[in-house]
Structure 1
């Protein structure tokens, strides 16, 4: 098996060299592109603050596949199993509800010490951590408003929660020597007709201004704001719309988060990347798969995933775009979901790195659209899979679907006992 992969890789390198692609240079770049895995796939977004509490804020994890992680220790063990089957650099994206504390800690009182075990684990795994304040599934978000709430005391609670989250995020970056990207998403909105659409947006803008008022070291912490078209319970009006968040990120020079499932079904975020980069310093991408809108299905190696990766590579946005995943499927093995989705994201990046971008751009500027289309289509059948399998071997992970055997073994030995 190994010999066959190496032989196929040697042939593939020559095929790509024929169109001017240095495969080794492409793999070196791929080794510098971490994908931030999302912790909430492993436990259906329950967290450890109140794991029996109901999800709110338009978030749903559907399915009842056995083996859900019930503690931070179980979740970290599951992540380790998944990461062992995924090649290349990785990060982990945490939500605030994944804190660890023997006593109950409300959201506005969270501190770095409540995430000490996560940092120790990240050091052991040699990965970076990203962070999110959790502005949903709480008694003070029950009416659908948080940072845009009309009640000043409730609004201040969520402001203080986000401020506390920024300090935790900056501590992650300091401890792990890599900046933590902290994404702020709020579920604020209304189910039915809304009369005053301006006042909530003014309140949200003012809340965000107060949250980011303290300047933090960008080497440790990066602020990002995430928009949404609508949510369950907020079908008619979402305060943090795309226009709001793009305007806010551009005017305050924060990062902007683009989630693949947060737009109209006919929209794609791959086409928004180049526009947003004209106005904001950084982007955070939540790569997901919407089915009938924001359903957060496992990422496939489909056209949009490829288009997202290609846009990053074609515009050389390696240092300006942070790649994160966002899906939670409780209908299949949760570890397999991580492996499938993350491997697909990395496959898309590899395929993009193996594209003769400069040649294609030259043809485009010369107006030779015939050759451009011909090369783009021929590129699809070149032996990128041979390069992928060789890269997997270099990282000591299964090259093909044999990783599923490792997941099944873990399921029999560990998950079935939960």
Structure 2
């Protein structure tokens, strides 16, 4: 029996098991196909971009490791993305930062235009994916003291306001050209290493700057604004201007998206528990799925309890239409392409498991106050043969089954990545 036949036979058994629980696996797989996951470009080159690839990261961002094969050009990065996406089933998007522009001459950040990203748009159209965007408010001389949109110097604030305004026009262009709205996320590194004497004024300035940025209306058919909070960062250990409370209040009062990053909260807080709360007050959420290890260290996403809890909330709450799923990690200690594949496949695995839960029966038991049945079914669902459904999903979508993708990545490393110049 061939591997394909084994996968199909295992799936046939799993399909019947789930059918007995009232779950149609074919419907689940069709729905899974339609859920886009926005992969992040900065995993492929350690957040260097192409504005000044030799520049030093600032803003509390550090990338550990120097695994060989880093993408050094836009063409190399797109080739790596193409290869990674070929190992991952389901609908995908790409999330770009402003520093990934392409130009033969230097471009100031407040002067970026859609033409500087035309190659990305052409690539995305050919790949049949959407693009998302981010202004880059770090790794720049005017962010060197840790303040940007909340800076006391109006000239500094105005520069970053102009950069974010220009970024909105780029994002709008993405949406118009590709037929799917671009989510543009504003995150700033603003904060202080030691205790501030004035916590109020920087937050007042940040709110005013953000108001100036989003003042021009742009149709949500093309562009969506989001703001992202932070707990702390390197150099901002004692005070973060754009705190969770600030961003939640701002998003709610201005009717824009709130970005929830899995690594931007206290160690005992989890994003999975926040979704049902914030969506009572904001229309839409942007998720940055990451993995903090004791702090916001952006490790490769694991198939762990919190990832599954996030996916469960999306399905149980029927909120997929209100949540934009994106990834945010950067690990230079391992093969960068493999990191993309591992993290993105894990996100989709978690979504599949959530789709294969007997949600209607769970809610019925809960509504009848039958908590015994609810707990029993939740626990039983964990050991149902979802992995056989996953293998069939990969097989039927022409991507590697199981860990077979690793052989493909190793071959790509030998034939492509190993031939690149060292960073």
Other-structure match for 2:156: 154
C-alpha displacement of 1:233: 0.2
**What secondary structure, in the 3-state scheme, does the structure 1 residue paired with 2:133 have?**
strand
Q: Does 1:130 align with 2:135?
A: no
Other-structure match for 2:77: 75
Q: Does 1:266 align with 2:288?
A: no
Other-structure match for 1:362: 364
TM-score normalised by the chain length of structure 1: 0.99
**What secondary structure, in the 3-state scheme, does the structure 2 residue paired with 1:271 have?**
helix
C-alpha displacement of 1:366: 1.4
**What secondary structure, in the 3-state scheme, does the structure 1 residue paired with 2:49 have?**
coil
Other-structure match for 1:416: 418
Unaligned runs of 5+ in 1: none
**What secondary structure, in the 3-state scheme, does the structure 2 residue paired with 1:272 have?**
helix
Question: Which shifted more, 20-29 or 184-193?
Answer: 20-29
**What secondary structure, in the 3-state scheme, does the structure 1 residue paired with 2:273 have?**
coil
1:37 is matched with which residue: 36, 39, 52? 39
Q: Distance in 2 between matches of 1:293 and 1:307?
A: 20
Q: Does 1:86 align with 2:88?
A: yes
C-alpha displacement of 1:317: 0.9
Q: Distance in 2 between matches of 1:323 and 1:69?
A: 24
C-alpha displacement of 1:277: 0.2
Q: Distance in 2 between matches of 1:143 and 1:14?
A: 61
Other-structure match for 2:224: 222
Query: How many residue pairs align between the two structures?
Result: 418
Q: Distance in 2 between matches of 1:224 and 1:327?
A: 19
Q: Does 1:323 align with 2:325?
A: yes
Q: Distance in 2 between matches of 1:155 and 1:52?
A: 25
RMSD: 0.6
Once the two structures are superposed, residues 301-326 of structure 1 have per-residue CA deviations (whole angstroms, 9 ceiling, x without a partner) of 10000000110011111111000000
Q: Distance in 1 between matches of 2:378 and 2:160?
A: 48
Other-structure match for 2:115: 113
Other-structure match for 2:312: 310
**What secondary structure, in the 3-state scheme, does the structure 1 residue paired with 2:116 have?**
helix
1:16-415 map, 5 Å: 16-415=18-417
Q: Distance in 1 between matches of 2:390 and 2:22?
A: 18
C-alpha displacement of 1:362: 1.2
C-alpha displacement of 1:116: 0.1
C-alpha displacement of 1:124: 0.7
**What secondary structure, in the 3-state scheme, does the structure 2 residue paired with 1:92 have?**
strand
Query: Could you list the runs of 4 or more consecutive aligned residues of structure 1 that deviate by over 4 angstroms after TM superposition?
Result: none
Q: Distance in 2 between matches of 1:7 and 1:381?
A: 19
TM-score normalised by the chain length of structure 2: 0.98
**What secondary structure, in the 3-state scheme, does the structure 1 residue paired with 2:271 have?**
coil
